[in-house]
């Protein structure tokens, strides 16, 4: 897992290792999304409530890995 802060935007990036089995990729993708979402929710809970925030799951094919915007 990699945390990146860019212009007050937190990216939680999870990358899947290359696997030729599509089912293995699907399972990893689901687990990665779940892990990233839980991490994003933990971070979001600790943010100042005066500032609005949201978590957005990005489509795997658009980003080449799984990450959430917080």
- Give the mean model confidence (pLDDT) for residues 28-54: 78
- Residues in CB range of 70: below 8 A, 6 or more apart: 9, 10, 11, 12, 40, 43, 44, 47, 53, 54, 55
pLDDT of 39: 83
User: Could you give the number of structural domains in the chain?
Assistant: 1
pTM: 0.47
Q: Which of 10-19, 20-29, 36-45 has the highest mean pLDDT?
A: 36-45
User: Confidence band (pLDDT; 50, 70, 90) for 50?
Assistant: confident
User: Confidence band (pLDDT; 50, 70, 90) for 13?
Assistant: low
Q: In terms of residue numbers, what domain contains 10? A: 2-69
């Amino acid at each position: 897992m990699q945390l990146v802060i860019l212009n007050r935007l937190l990216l939680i990036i999870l990358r899947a290792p290359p696997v030729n089995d599509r089912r293995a990729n699907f399972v990893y993708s689901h687990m990665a999304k779940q892990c990233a979402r839980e991490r994003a929710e933990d971070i979001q809970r600790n943010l100042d409530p005066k500032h609005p925030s949201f978590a957005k799951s990005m489509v795997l094919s658009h980003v080449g890995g799984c990450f959430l915007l917080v």
